[in-house]
Amino acid sequence: MSSSDKLSIISNFDPNGVGTNAQLFGLPFSIEMAEMVIIPVPWEVTVSYREGTANGPEAILKASTQVDLFQEDIFDAWKMGIAMLPIDDLLKSQSDQQRSLANTYIQWLEAGEPEAVRNRYEKSPEGINAACDKMNDWVYQQSKKYLEQGKMIGLLGGDHSTPLGLIRAMAEKHSSFGILQIDAHADLRPAYEGFEYSHASIAYNFMKIPEVKQLVQVGIRDFCEQEYVYSQSEKRITMYTDNQLKEALFQGVNWSDLCKRIIADLPEKVYLTIDIDGLSTNLCPNTGTPVPGGMDYQQLMYLIKTLVKSGRKLIGFDLVEVAPGENGDEWDANVGARILYRMANLVGLSQGKLSWS
């Protein structure tokens, strides 16, 4: 499609009008026309507490039409073009199937691994790990396809295991980059409950990729001793726990200075991974593993805006662990949709596709 076609669609679209449910944020852009492609990954096989994150992409899609497109500090942000791939029903079905198997296996573990049924359960992780590996390859192939087309990429989970394939694709495109992780959990377990690709192991799996030169974790407040020891011994990891950040704030250090400290640890190119449970639980009460504490919405926005203003380039991002509530509760998705839109625009700005107002 030509640039004139895109200009025609832009000229005939009312950004102040009522959003429609057909496309993400009610925007009029096709995948071909959009500068940024969002890859939805409805997957939650290895979640270890509450379920529901596999429904996150659909819930955010529905909630996204309530997001106003105007950004007071970014000029004509919506015109960049954002479009989401169709949610893959087969992937969701596979997630449901493997989740059922994982759940019965976890129940066996929590029961103390009864010997009477050991033969039925002890090899379950092998099949589940294989299924998760296929999911990672699917994400990698999708990511590689659109990166080769010159698209910017964002991923929408699903649980936090889902962006590994995107990081692998990024590593083929960029020889050196850092990762900024917003999260309540360190996710540095070599494996959890026998699952190599657990949502609790995603950061550990990031560190297996040589092109990842630095991992900066922010808001961490729930981690085991093994994870802490690893984070202290691995020179590529810097952890800012929620406790450390809050104590500094209580002692009079302002958030702006803390953001500058965090950003100083990052290289020129940065990938952003946001687990919504890194935020205060009042913003994500239905997420899979909520933890008291966390950042508020504007603290997160200020941190990422400061990162972009520092001149660093955001090469891609993901938003994961958004789970809709029961009885039609859309609050988590409402918050998630706003994070998704703002992050997409800040990534576009950092790559020269948009400009500050």
Confirm or reject CATH 3.10.20.340 for domain 3-350, answering yes or no.
no
pLDDT of residue 21: 64
Distance CA 311, CA 335 (A): 27
User: Is residue 4 very low, low, confident or very high in pLDDT (cuts 50, 70, 90)?
Assistant: confident
pLDDT of residue 113: 85
Q: From residue 336, how far is each of 87, 176, 277 by CA, in Å?
A: 17, 29, 11
Distance CA 180, CA 316 (A): 11
The predicted-structure confidence for 185-207, as pLDDT tens digits, reads as follows 999 999 877 888 888 899 999 99
CA pseudo-torsion sign 124, 125, 128, 134: negative
For the chain, domain boundaries = 3-350
Query: Are 58 and 42 a contacting pair, CB within 8 Å?
Result: yes
Query: Are 84 and 30 a contacting pair, CB within 8 Å?
Result: no
188 by DSSP, 3-state: which? coil
Query: Are 214 and 236 a contacting pair, CB within 8 Å?
Result: yes
For residue 15, pLDDT beyond 80: yes
Helix (H) or strand (E) holding 313: strand 313-320
Query: Are 324 and 333 a contacting pair, CB within 8 Å?
Result: yes
The predicted-structure confidence for 281-293, as pLDDT tens digits, reads as follows 999 999 989 999 9
Distance CA 17, CA 242 (A): 40
Query: Are 53 and 322 a contacting pair, CB within 8 Å?
Result: yes
Check residues 3 and 295 and name the one with the higher pLDDT.
Answer: 295
How many other C-beta atoms are found inside a 10 Å radius of the C-beta of residue 173?
16
**pTM: predicted TM-score of the whole model, two decimal places:** 0.95
CA nearest 221: which of 168, 290, 172, 302? 290
How many other C-beta atoms are found inside a 10 Å radius of the C-beta of residue 1?
10
> Identity (one letter) of the amino acid at 45?
V
Distance CA 135, CA 164 (A): 10
User: Is residue 104 very low, low, confident or very high in pLDDT (cuts 50, 70, 90)?
Assistant: confident
